[in-house]
Amino acid sequence: MEYSGIVLVVTFFALLLLNVPISFSIGIATAVTMLFSIDFAPAVTTVSQRLAGGVNSFVLLAIPFFVLSGLIMGRGGIAKRLIECAMALIGMLPGGLALVNVLSCTMFGAISGSAVAATSAIGSFMIPQMEQKGYDKNFATAVTSAAATTGMLIPPSNILIIYAIASGGVSIAALFVAGYLPGILVALALMIVCAGYSKLHGYPTGDRLPFSIVIEKVVAALPSLLLIFIVIGGIIGGVFTATEAGAIAVLYSLILSVGIYKEVKISELSSILLKAAETTAIVMLLIGASSAMSWIMSYVNIPQAISEFLLTLSENPILILLLINLCLILIGAFMDMTPAVLIFTPIFLPVAEQLGMSPLHFGIMIVLNLSIGLCSPPVGSVLFVGCAVAKTSIEKIIKPLLPLYFAMFCVLMLVTYVPAISEFLPALFGLG
Protein backbone atom coordinates (compact mmCIF):
# COMPACT_ATOMS: atom_id res chain seq x y z
CA MET A 1 0.00 0.00 0.00
CA GLU A 2 2.89 2.35 0.79
CA TYR A 3 4.18 1.87 -2.78
CA SER A 4 0.84 3.15 -4.12
CA GLY A 5 1.34 6.39 -2.19
CA ILE A 6 4.81 6.81 -3.68
CA VAL A 7 3.43 6.18 -7.18
CA LEU A 8 0.71 8.82 -6.61
CA VAL A 9 3.09 11.52 -5.37
CA VAL A 10 5.83 10.86 -7.94
CA THR A 11 3.41 10.71 -10.89
CA PHE A 12 1.60 13.86 -9.82
CA PHE A 13 4.70 16.01 -9.38
CA ALA A 14 6.33 14.60 -12.53
CA LEU A 15 3.29 15.67 -14.55
CA LEU A 16 3.34 19.13 -12.93
CA LEU A 17 7.01 19.54 -13.86
CA LEU A 18 6.08 18.65 -17.45
CA ASN A 19 3.55 21.54 -17.42
CA VAL A 20 0.55 19.23 -17.69
CA PRO A 21 -2.59 21.16 -16.61
CA ILE A 22 -3.33 20.66 -12.93
CA SER A 23 -6.69 18.92 -13.42
CA PHE A 24 -5.17 16.41 -15.84
CA SER A 25 -2.16 15.89 -13.56
CA ILE A 26 -4.48 15.04 -10.68
CA GLY A 27 -6.70 12.76 -12.78
CA ILE A 28 -3.84 10.88 -14.48
CA ALA A 29 -1.92 10.41 -11.21
CA THR A 30 -5.06 9.04 -9.58
CA ALA A 31 -5.73 6.64 -12.47
CA VAL A 32 -2.11 5.41 -12.56
CA THR A 33 -2.18 4.76 -8.81
CA MET A 34 -5.43 2.83 -9.10
CA LEU A 35 -3.98 0.75 -11.95
CA PHE A 36 -0.96 0.04 -9.77
CA SER A 37 -3.25 -1.20 -6.97
CA ILE A 38 -6.04 -3.12 -8.75
CA ASP A 39 -6.99 -4.51 -12.18
CA PHE A 40 -7.79 -2.27 -15.15
CA ALA A 41 -11.60 -2.58 -15.25
CA PRO A 42 -12.32 -1.89 -11.56
CA ALA A 43 -9.64 0.82 -11.52
CA VAL A 44 -11.20 2.76 -14.42
CA THR A 45 -14.68 2.24 -13.00
CA THR A 46 -13.67 3.49 -9.56
CA VAL A 47 -11.94 6.60 -10.91
CA SER A 48 -14.95 7.40 -13.10
CA GLN A 49 -17.33 6.98 -10.18
CA ARG A 50 -15.22 9.23 -7.96
CA LEU A 51 -14.96 11.89 -10.68
CA ALA A 52 -18.73 11.94 -11.12
CA GLY A 53 -19.44 11.66 -7.41
CA GLY A 54 -17.15 14.58 -6.64
CA VAL A 55 -19.40 17.03 -8.49
CA ASN A 56 -22.68 15.37 -7.53
CA SER A 57 -23.61 17.85 -4.82
CA PHE A 58 -26.50 20.28 -4.58
CA VAL A 59 -24.28 22.77 -2.75
CA LEU A 60 -21.97 23.01 -5.79
CA LEU A 61 -24.83 24.51 -7.81
CA ALA A 62 -24.03 27.76 -6.03
CA ILE A 63 -20.69 28.00 -7.85
CA PRO A 64 -21.96 28.57 -11.44
CA PHE A 65 -24.43 31.14 -10.09
CA PHE A 66 -21.76 33.11 -8.24
CA VAL A 67 -19.39 32.82 -11.23
CA LEU A 68 -22.07 34.22 -13.53
CA SER A 69 -23.03 37.06 -11.17
CA GLY A 70 -19.35 37.96 -10.79
CA LEU A 71 -18.85 38.13 -14.55
CA ILE A 72 -21.96 40.26 -15.04
CA MET A 73 -20.90 42.69 -12.32
CA GLY A 74 -17.36 42.73 -13.68
CA ARG A 75 -18.67 44.20 -16.92
CA GLY A 76 -21.46 46.21 -15.36
CA GLY A 77 -19.64 49.36 -14.25
CA ILE A 78 -19.36 48.17 -10.66
CA ALA A 79 -15.58 48.59 -10.48
CA LYS A 80 -15.70 52.25 -11.55
CA ARG A 81 -18.27 53.16 -8.89
CA LEU A 82 -16.43 51.30 -6.14
CA ILE A 83 -13.15 53.03 -7.04
CA GLU A 84 -14.82 56.46 -7.00
CA CYS A 85 -16.39 55.64 -3.61
CA ALA A 86 -13.04 54.53 -2.17
CA MET A 87 -11.33 57.61 -3.65
CA ALA A 88 -13.84 59.90 -1.98
CA LEU A 89 -13.48 58.17 1.40
CA ILE A 90 -9.72 57.65 1.79
CA GLY A 91 -7.99 59.19 -1.24
CA MET A 92 -6.68 62.11 0.82
CA LEU A 93 -4.72 59.89 3.26
CA PRO A 94 -0.96 59.15 2.93
CA GLY A 95 -0.50 56.82 -0.02
CA GLY A 96 -4.09 57.62 -0.95
CA LEU A 97 -4.22 55.88 -4.32
CA ALA A 98 -2.60 52.73 -2.91
CA LEU A 99 -5.20 52.67 -0.12
CA VAL A 100 -7.96 53.22 -2.67
CA ASN A 101 -6.59 50.29 -4.65
CA VAL A 102 -6.74 47.99 -1.60
CA LEU A 103 -10.23 49.09 -0.58
CA SER A 104 -11.57 48.85 -4.15
CA CYS A 105 -10.12 45.35 -4.63
CA THR A 106 -11.57 44.26 -1.29
CA MET A 107 -15.06 45.54 -2.10
CA PHE A 108 -15.06 44.24 -5.66
CA GLY A 109 -13.58 40.88 -4.62
CA ALA A 110 -16.31 40.54 -2.01
CA ILE A 111 -19.02 41.28 -4.57
CA SER A 112 -17.65 39.17 -7.42
CA GLY A 113 -16.13 36.35 -5.34
CA SER A 114 -13.16 36.24 -7.72
CA ALA A 115 -9.61 37.42 -7.08
CA VAL A 116 -8.79 37.23 -10.80
CA ALA A 117 -11.82 39.38 -11.70
CA ALA A 118 -10.88 41.92 -9.04
CA THR A 119 -7.30 42.09 -10.33
CA SER A 120 -8.46 42.62 -13.90
CA ALA A 121 -11.32 45.05 -13.22
CA ILE A 122 -9.65 47.20 -10.57
CA GLY A 123 -6.09 46.85 -11.88
CA SER A 124 -6.94 47.99 -15.40
CA PHE A 125 -8.05 51.33 -13.95
CA MET A 126 -5.96 51.78 -10.79
CA ILE A 127 -2.52 50.70 -12.05
CA PRO A 128 -2.39 53.30 -14.89
CA GLN A 129 -3.95 55.88 -12.55
CA MET A 130 -1.30 55.28 -9.86
CA GLU A 131 1.51 55.35 -12.43
CA GLN A 132 0.19 58.63 -13.84
CA LYS A 133 0.24 60.19 -10.35
CA GLY A 134 3.87 59.22 -9.74
CA TYR A 135 3.60 55.79 -8.14
CA ASP A 136 5.93 53.02 -9.31
CA LYS A 137 4.05 50.73 -11.72
CA ASN A 138 5.47 47.58 -10.13
CA PHE A 139 4.35 48.69 -6.66
CA ALA A 140 0.86 49.42 -8.03
CA THR A 141 0.74 45.94 -9.59
CA ALA A 142 1.92 44.33 -6.35
CA VAL A 143 -0.77 46.14 -4.35
CA THR A 144 -3.51 45.09 -6.76
CA SER A 145 -2.38 41.46 -6.80
CA ALA A 146 -2.19 41.18 -3.01
CA ALA A 147 -5.41 43.07 -2.27
CA ALA A 148 -7.48 41.10 -4.79
CA THR A 149 -7.07 37.94 -2.70
CA THR A 150 -9.19 39.36 0.14
CA GLY A 151 -12.27 38.43 -1.90
CA MET A 152 -11.51 34.76 -1.18
CA LEU A 153 -12.36 35.34 2.49
CA ILE A 154 -15.16 37.90 2.28
CA PRO A 155 -18.33 36.23 0.97
CA PRO A 156 -19.77 35.24 -1.36
CA SER A 157 -16.70 33.04 -1.90
CA ASN A 158 -16.66 29.90 -4.04
CA ILE A 159 -13.61 28.51 -2.26
CA LEU A 160 -15.42 28.58 1.09
CA ILE A 161 -18.21 26.53 -0.48
CA ILE A 162 -15.64 24.03 -1.73
CA TYR A 163 -14.05 23.81 1.73
CA ALA A 164 -17.49 23.14 3.25
CA ILE A 165 -17.72 20.05 1.01
CA ALA A 166 -14.11 18.94 1.59
CA SER A 167 -14.47 19.21 5.37
CA GLY A 168 -17.51 16.97 5.46
CA GLY A 169 -20.25 19.47 6.14
CA VAL A 170 -19.13 22.69 7.88
CA SER A 171 -21.96 25.22 7.57
CA ILE A 172 -21.54 27.47 4.54
CA ALA A 173 -23.39 30.24 6.36
CA ALA A 174 -20.95 29.99 9.28
CA LEU A 175 -17.95 30.02 6.92
CA PHE A 176 -19.30 33.04 5.06
CA VAL A 177 -19.75 35.01 8.28
CA ALA A 178 -16.42 33.80 9.70
CA GLY A 179 -14.53 35.19 6.71
CA TYR A 180 -15.40 38.83 7.37
CA LEU A 181 -13.04 39.71 10.22
CA PRO A 182 -9.98 37.93 8.74
CA GLY A 183 -10.66 39.50 5.32
CA ILE A 184 -10.96 42.97 6.82
CA LEU A 185 -7.79 42.40 8.87
CA VAL A 186 -5.86 41.45 5.72
CA ALA A 187 -7.10 44.60 3.97
CA LEU A 188 -6.14 46.80 6.96
CA ALA A 189 -2.69 45.20 7.19
CA LEU A 190 -2.11 45.83 3.48
CA MET A 191 -3.25 49.44 3.89
CA ILE A 192 -0.79 50.00 6.76
CA VAL A 193 2.06 48.67 4.60
CA CYS A 194 0.92 50.77 1.62
CA ALA A 195 0.77 53.94 3.74
CA GLY A 196 4.27 53.34 5.13
CA TYR A 197 5.73 52.39 1.74
CA SER A 198 4.15 55.44 0.08
CA LYS A 199 5.42 57.80 2.78
CA LEU A 200 8.90 56.29 2.53
CA HIS A 201 8.98 56.82 -1.26
CA GLY A 202 7.26 60.20 -1.21
CA TYR A 203 4.18 59.17 -3.19
CA PRO A 204 1.45 61.84 -3.40
CA THR A 205 -1.90 61.97 -1.66
CA GLY A 206 -5.21 62.74 -3.29
CA ASP A 207 -7.32 65.85 -2.85
CA ARG A 208 -9.91 66.11 -0.08
CA LEU A 209 -13.32 66.26 -1.76
CA PRO A 210 -16.27 68.35 -0.57
CA PHE A 211 -18.62 66.45 1.76
CA SER A 212 -21.45 66.61 -0.78
CA ILE A 213 -19.28 64.87 -3.41
CA VAL A 214 -18.28 62.19 -0.89
CA ILE A 215 -21.95 61.46 -0.13
CA GLU A 216 -22.73 61.38 -3.86
CA LYS A 217 -19.98 58.82 -4.58
CA VAL A 218 -20.95 56.62 -1.61
CA VAL A 219 -24.62 56.64 -2.63
CA ALA A 220 -23.66 55.75 -6.20
CA ALA A 221 -21.79 52.66 -4.93
CA LEU A 222 -24.48 51.53 -2.47
CA PRO A 223 -26.52 49.49 -4.98
CA SER A 224 -23.41 47.44 -5.76
CA LEU A 225 -22.53 46.92 -2.09
CA LEU A 226 -26.13 46.01 -1.32
CA LEU A 227 -25.55 42.61 -2.95
CA ILE A 228 -23.38 41.58 0.02
CA PHE A 229 -26.14 42.39 2.49
CA ILE A 230 -28.80 40.66 0.41
CA VAL A 231 -26.80 37.44 0.03
CA ILE A 232 -25.39 37.19 3.55
CA GLY A 233 -28.47 38.58 5.27
CA GLY A 234 -30.67 36.06 3.48
CA ILE A 235 -28.42 33.14 4.35
CA ILE A 236 -28.01 34.13 8.02
CA GLY A 237 -31.74 34.81 8.35
CA GLY A 238 -32.58 31.41 6.89
CA VAL A 239 -34.50 33.01 4.02
CA PHE A 240 -32.57 31.04 1.41
CA THR A 241 -29.68 28.59 1.05
CA ALA A 242 -26.26 29.39 -0.43
CA THR A 243 -27.36 27.93 -3.77
CA GLU A 244 -30.53 30.02 -3.82
CA ALA A 245 -28.43 33.03 -2.80
CA GLY A 246 -26.31 32.47 -5.92
CA ALA A 247 -29.41 32.57 -8.13
CA ILE A 248 -30.58 35.76 -6.40
CA ALA A 249 -27.12 37.28 -6.92
CA VAL A 250 -27.42 36.60 -10.67
CA LEU A 251 -30.86 38.21 -10.81
CA TYR A 252 -29.72 41.24 -8.81
CA SER A 253 -26.55 41.72 -10.89
CA LEU A 254 -28.66 41.56 -14.08
CA ILE A 255 -31.06 44.19 -12.78
CA LEU A 256 -28.16 46.39 -11.68
CA SER A 257 -25.87 46.05 -14.71
CA VAL A 258 -28.49 45.84 -17.47
CA GLY A 259 -31.42 47.77 -16.06
CA ILE A 260 -30.01 50.46 -13.75
CA TYR A 261 -26.40 51.13 -14.79
CA LYS A 262 -27.06 50.10 -18.42
CA GLU A 263 -23.39 49.08 -18.78
CA VAL A 264 -24.20 45.58 -20.10
CA LYS A 265 -26.25 45.16 -23.28
CA ILE A 266 -28.62 42.25 -23.82
CA SER A 267 -26.54 41.22 -26.84
CA GLU A 268 -23.49 40.78 -24.55
CA LEU A 269 -25.19 38.27 -22.27
CA SER A 270 -24.51 35.32 -24.58
CA SER A 271 -20.74 35.84 -24.37
CA ILE A 272 -20.98 36.28 -20.59
CA LEU A 273 -22.96 33.03 -20.27
CA LEU A 274 -20.42 31.22 -22.42
CA LYS A 275 -17.54 32.51 -20.28
CA ALA A 276 -19.39 31.47 -17.13
CA ALA A 277 -19.92 27.98 -18.56
CA GLU A 278 -16.22 27.68 -19.43
CA THR A 279 -15.12 28.82 -15.97
CA THR A 280 -17.61 26.52 -14.26
CA ALA A 281 -16.48 23.56 -16.37
CA ILE A 282 -12.85 24.16 -15.38
CA VAL A 283 -13.77 24.41 -11.69
CA MET A 284 -15.96 21.29 -11.80
CA LEU A 285 -13.25 19.27 -13.56
CA LEU A 286 -10.82 20.33 -10.81
CA ILE A 287 -13.34 19.38 -8.13
CA GLY A 288 -14.07 15.97 -9.68
CA ALA A 289 -10.40 15.11 -10.22
CA SER A 290 -9.42 16.36 -6.76
CA SER A 291 -12.20 14.35 -5.14
CA ALA A 292 -10.92 11.23 -6.88
CA MET A 293 -7.36 11.92 -5.70
CA SER A 294 -8.57 12.62 -2.18
CA TRP A 295 -10.32 9.24 -2.15
CA ILE A 296 -7.27 7.31 -3.38
CA MET A 297 -5.11 9.12 -0.81
CA SER A 298 -7.45 7.90 1.93
CA TYR A 299 -7.44 4.42 0.38
CA VAL A 300 -3.63 4.19 0.64
CA ASN A 301 -3.65 5.81 4.13
CA ILE A 302 -1.66 8.92 3.21
CA PRO A 303 -3.64 11.28 5.52
CA GLN A 304 -3.21 8.93 8.47
CA ALA A 305 0.52 8.58 7.81
CA ILE A 306 1.03 12.36 7.61
CA SER A 307 -1.08 12.92 10.73
CA GLU A 308 0.96 10.41 12.72
CA PHE A 309 4.21 11.91 11.43
CA LEU A 310 3.28 15.48 12.38
CA LEU A 311 2.07 14.46 15.83
CA THR A 312 5.29 12.55 16.50
CA LEU A 313 7.43 15.57 15.58
CA SER A 314 6.30 17.59 18.58
CA GLU A 315 3.64 17.82 21.24
CA ASN A 316 3.60 21.60 20.94
CA PRO A 317 0.44 22.67 19.03
CA ILE A 318 1.98 26.06 18.21
CA LEU A 319 4.87 24.39 16.39
CA ILE A 320 2.68 21.86 14.55
CA LEU A 321 0.28 24.56 13.33
CA LEU A 322 3.26 26.60 12.15
CA LEU A 323 4.53 23.56 10.21
CA ILE A 324 1.09 23.04 8.65
CA ASN A 325 0.99 26.70 7.60
CA LEU A 326 4.46 26.56 6.07
CA CYS A 327 3.50 23.39 4.15
CA LEU A 328 0.32 25.06 2.86
CA ILE A 329 2.19 28.22 1.81
CA LEU A 330 4.56 26.03 -0.21
CA ILE A 331 1.64 24.08 -1.68
CA GLY A 332 -0.20 27.31 -2.56
CA ALA A 333 2.80 28.54 -4.52
CA PHE A 334 2.57 25.52 -6.84
CA MET A 335 -1.10 24.54 -6.86
CA ASP A 336 -4.43 26.24 -7.51
CA MET A 337 -6.68 26.84 -4.49
CA THR A 338 -9.49 24.48 -5.49
CA PRO A 339 -7.49 21.24 -5.73
CA ALA A 340 -5.33 22.30 -2.78
CA VAL A 341 -8.38 22.67 -0.52
CA LEU A 342 -9.95 19.41 -1.73
CA ILE A 343 -6.75 17.37 -1.46
CA PHE A 344 -5.13 18.75 1.69
CA THR A 345 -8.18 19.41 3.89
CA PRO A 346 -8.63 15.66 4.58
CA ILE A 347 -4.91 15.45 5.40
CA PHE A 348 -4.46 18.40 7.75
CA LEU A 349 -7.96 18.83 9.24
CA PRO A 350 -7.73 15.68 11.44
CA VAL A 351 -4.40 16.91 12.82
CA ALA A 352 -5.85 20.37 13.51
CA GLU A 353 -8.86 18.84 15.27
CA GLN A 354 -6.58 16.75 17.48
CA LEU A 355 -4.90 20.00 18.46
CA GLY A 356 -8.26 21.48 19.46
CA MET A 357 -8.92 23.58 16.34
CA SER A 358 -12.50 23.59 15.08
CA PRO A 359 -13.23 22.76 11.38
CA LEU A 360 -14.62 26.30 11.00
CA HIS A 361 -11.42 27.88 12.32
CA PHE A 362 -9.24 25.60 10.20
CA GLY A 363 -11.28 26.45 7.09
CA ILE A 364 -10.59 30.17 7.42
CA MET A 365 -6.93 29.46 8.12
CA ILE A 366 -6.42 27.27 5.04
CA VAL A 367 -8.27 29.68 2.72
CA LEU A 368 -6.28 32.66 4.00
CA ASN A 369 -3.06 30.66 3.68
CA LEU A 370 -3.74 29.53 0.12
CA SER A 371 -4.84 33.06 -0.83
CA ILE A 372 -1.21 34.08 -0.37
CA GLY A 373 -0.37 31.49 -3.03
CA LEU A 374 -2.64 33.26 -5.52
CA CYS A 375 -0.19 36.15 -5.63
CA SER A 376 2.98 34.07 -5.27
CA PRO A 377 5.24 32.76 -8.04
CA PRO A 378 5.57 30.47 -9.88
CA VAL A 379 1.88 29.50 -10.33
CA GLY A 380 -0.08 32.40 -8.77
CA SER A 381 -2.92 33.13 -11.20
CA VAL A 382 -3.58 36.60 -9.77
CA LEU A 383 0.08 37.49 -10.20
CA PHE A 384 -0.01 36.62 -13.91
CA VAL A 385 -3.21 38.61 -14.47
CA GLY A 386 -1.79 41.63 -12.64
CA CYS A 387 1.41 41.53 -14.69
CA ALA A 388 -0.59 41.18 -17.92
CA VAL A 389 -2.75 44.18 -17.04
CA ALA A 390 0.28 46.32 -16.09
CA LYS A 391 2.47 45.00 -18.92
CA THR A 392 5.30 44.18 -16.53
CA SER A 393 7.09 41.00 -15.40
CA ILE A 394 6.81 38.92 -12.24
CA GLU A 395 10.49 39.48 -11.45
CA LYS A 396 9.95 43.24 -11.23
CA ILE A 397 7.07 43.11 -8.74
CA ILE A 398 8.54 40.60 -6.29
CA LYS A 399 10.49 43.25 -4.34
CA PRO A 400 7.47 45.54 -3.67
CA LEU A 401 5.42 42.40 -2.91
CA LEU A 402 7.67 41.32 -0.03
CA PRO A 403 6.32 43.75 2.62
CA LEU A 404 2.77 42.88 1.48
CA TYR A 405 3.55 39.16 1.89
CA PHE A 406 4.82 39.91 5.39
CA ALA A 407 1.60 41.75 6.28
CA MET A 408 -0.54 38.85 5.03
CA PHE A 409 1.62 36.33 6.92
CA CYS A 410 1.23 38.32 10.15
CA VAL A 411 -2.56 38.22 9.79
CA LEU A 412 -2.35 34.49 9.01
CA MET A 413 -0.50 33.92 12.30
CA LEU A 414 -3.14 35.97 14.15
CA VAL A 415 -5.96 33.98 12.58
CA THR A 416 -4.17 30.69 13.31
CA TYR A 417 -3.50 31.31 16.99
CA VAL A 418 -6.51 33.48 17.92
CA PRO A 419 -9.65 31.40 17.23
CA ALA A 420 -11.99 34.25 18.17
CA ILE A 421 -11.08 36.13 14.99
CA SER A 422 -12.79 33.39 12.96
CA GLU A 423 -15.38 32.17 15.45
CA PHE A 424 -16.71 35.34 17.07
CA LEU A 425 -19.17 36.42 14.37
CA PRO A 426 -20.59 32.92 13.66
CA ALA A 427 -21.17 32.48 17.40
CA LEU A 428 -22.77 35.92 17.61
CA PHE A 429 -25.28 34.97 14.91
CA GLY A 430 -25.82 31.47 16.32
CA LEU A 431 -24.02 29.77 13.41
CA GLY A 432 -21.07 28.26 15.29
Q: Taking every pair of C-alpha atoms in the chain, what is the biggest distance, in angstroms?
A: 74
Could you tell me the pLDDT band of residue 413, with boundaries at 50, 70 and 90? very high
Domain termination residue (choose one: 54, 79, 96): 54
What single string gives the DSSP state of each residue in 110-147?
HHH--HHHHHHHHHHHHHHHHHHTT--HHHHHHHHHHH
Q: Give 341-400 pLDDT, tens digit per residue.
A: 988 998 999 999 999 999 999 999 999 999 998 888 877 888 888 998 898 988 899 999
How many domains are contained in the chain?
2
Q: Give 242-272 pLDDT, tens digit per residue.
A: 888 889 989 998 998 888 888 889 899 999 9
C-alpha to C-alpha distance for 34 and 50, rounded to whole angstroms: 12
Q: Give 268-303 pLDDT, tens digit per residue.
A: 999 999 998 998 898 898 889 888 888 888 887 888
What single string gives the DSSP state of each residue in 291-359?
HHHHHHHHHTTHHHHHHHHHHHH-S-HHHHHHHHHHHHHHHHHHS-HHHHHHHHHHHHHHHHHHTT--H
25: left (phi over 0), alpha (psi -120 to 50) or beta: alpha
Is pLDDT above 70 for 1?
A: no
What is the DSSP secondary structure assignment for residue 156, as one 8-state letter? S
Residues 16, 110 within the same domain: no
* Cβ-contact 276, 67 below 8 angstroms: yes
Is pLDDT above 70 for 408?
A: yes
Residues 28, 80 within the same domain: no
Residues 126, 17 within the same domain: no
What is the DSSP secondary structure assignment for residue 259, as one 8-state letter? I
Q: Give 306-328 pLDDT, tens digit per residue.
A: 888 888 888 889 999 999 999 99
Q: How far is CA 350 from CA 83, 116, 356, in A?
A: 42, 31, 10
Residues 183, 207 within the same domain: yes
Q: Which of 176, 151, 150, 149 is nearest to 161 (CA)?
A: 176
Residues 2, 65 within the same domain: no
Could you tell me the pLDDT band of residue 432, with boundaries at 50, 70 and 90? low
Residues 172, 43 within the same domain: no
Q: Whole domain around residue 80: which residue ranges?
A: 55-428
Residues 155, 216 within the same domain: yes
